[in-house]
Amino acid sequence: MTTESVTSAGAGRGPAVIGTPAAAGSLYPKEVAARLREDAAAVVARYPEPRSALLPLLHLIQSVDSFVSPRGVAFCAETLGLSRAEVSAVATFYSQYKRKPNGAYTVGVCTNTLCAVMGGDDVFATVSAHLGIGNDETTDDGQVTLERLECNAACDYAPVVMVNWEFFDNATPASAVDLVDRLRAGERVEASRGPVVQDFKAVSRVLAGFEDGLVDDGPSAGEATLVGLRISREHDWHAPAYPEAEHDGESDVAEDGTGRGEVGEEQSSSEHAEPTPHEATTGERPDEPADQAGTEPTSPKSGTEGTKE
Ligand code: FES
């Protein structure tokens, strides 16, 4: 690799540095810059406006630098036609964007309400003491960054620990200590619901929109998530029908009382879409044969027109 002076990626874990103007010598090595430009072009091409690509580009920067570095801010600003202040304003708003070099594994302990009362505070305190670091700090070997997390919508597995956004359910102080020890030892670690844990830079590249092929690896929904669905099926329970609509004096409840569709039943967007002026005039719908246009639909899935008295 051609080497130029790189001041950001190898910087020590000091105070926040986001927004610091890129100084001379803070450019990326040529090979890295070339790949960044190529990847950035692919990301920007997904959006009608270049500036809309800022969030994934910030993840892309983290896939190289492990944080939103000054040179990364400059790269995003230059690529998207923004000021560095604008880039920094966005990067500092979201906690997923790091202001200093991150460890290979972000270990997040949920200490939000439910996880806290189920033991999350104990898990955090134990891991913090074991690693000798506090919130948003990184071990000296650069392997683990410890964080307190807000609710991860995984309360049915409280208390929850996440490693680079993969779940570790029903954590205990002992299991969390074992987890961080295995991560620091470079062991293969499988998530409770998800794939084998990847390092922070690899996951950041996925968040930038470049798939790693692991999306279907590992378990997905767990028993605690599915138990309600299973019980409702055993008892043939259904969601109640929609209440009567007040508009036009028409009912949203089908004659069989089931509403416009069972909960979870797939309905096409065209069934929900407002008619275009042409459709309103002719009565035609996109997937409807011309000889049926204007006739009364008979399926309960067909919306209010199928429920007229
Ligand atoms: S409170 Fe921890 S996942 Fe919801």
The residues spanned by each domain of the chain are 1-101, 105-200, 247-307
Residue-wise pLDDT for 159-187, tens only, equals 999 999 999 999 999 999 999 999 999 99
Ligand 1 atom nearest 159 alpha carbon: 2
CA of 266 to the centre of ligand 1 (A): 30
Instruction: Pick from 112, 122, 123 the residue to mutate for probing ligand 1's pocket: most ligand atoms within 8 Å of its CB.
Output: 112
> How many C-beta atoms lie closer than 10 Å to residue 171's C-beta?
27
Task: Give bridge partners of residue 146 from the DSSP assignment.
Answer: 107, 137
| Cα 15 to Cα 70: distance, rounded to the nearest angstrom | 13
Q: How far is the CA of 178 from the centre of ligand 1 (A)?
A: 21
Does residue 291 register a pLDDT over 80? no
Over the stretch 60-86, which tens digit does the pLDDT of each residue have?
999 999 999 999 999 999 999 999 999
Superfamily of domain 105-200: Glutaredoxin (3.40.30.10)
Strands (E), the chain: 105-110, 137-138, 144-149, 161-163, 166-168
Model confidence pLDDT, tens digit, residues 222-239: 888 899 999 999 999 998
For residues 32 and 61, the answer to whether their CB atoms sit within 8 Å is: no
Banded model confidence at residue 3, pLDDT cuts 50, 70, 90:
very low
Which ligand 1 atom sits nearest the alpha carbon of residue 114? 1
**What's the predicted TM-score (pTM) here?**
0.70
In this structure, the number of other CB atoms found within 10 A of the CB of residue 97 comes to: 21
Quote the CA–CA distance of 106 and 245 in Å, as a whole number. Answer: 49
Give phi and psi for 262, each to the nearest 5: -65, 150
Say whether 105-200 and 1-101 share the same fold: no
Is residue 4 scored above 60 in pLDDT?
Answer: no
Predicted pLDDT of residue 129 = 98
Name all contacts of 244-252 with Cβ < 8 Å and 24+ positions apart. Answer: 245/304, 248/304, 250/304, 250/307, 250/308, 251/304, 251/307, 251/309, 252/304, 252/307
Lowest mean pLDDT among 14-23, 26-35, 87-96: 14-23
Contact 145, 107 (CB under 8 A): yes
Contact 73, 84 (CB under 8 A): yes
Q: Is residue 260 pLDDT above 70, yes or no?
A: no
- Please check the confidence at residue 246 and state whether its pLDDT lies above 90: no
CATH top-level class of 1-101: mainly alpha
Give the pocket of ligand 1 (CB within 6 Å). 110, 112-115, 151-152, 154-155, 158, 160
Tell how far the Cα of 144 is from the centroid of ligand 1, in angstroms.
Answer: 21
By most ligand atoms within 8 Å of CB, the mutation choice from 121, 122, 148, 155 for ligand 1 is 155
Residue with the two structure tokens 């830079």: 201
CB atoms near residue 249 (< 10 Å) = 8
Number of residues written out for the chain: 309
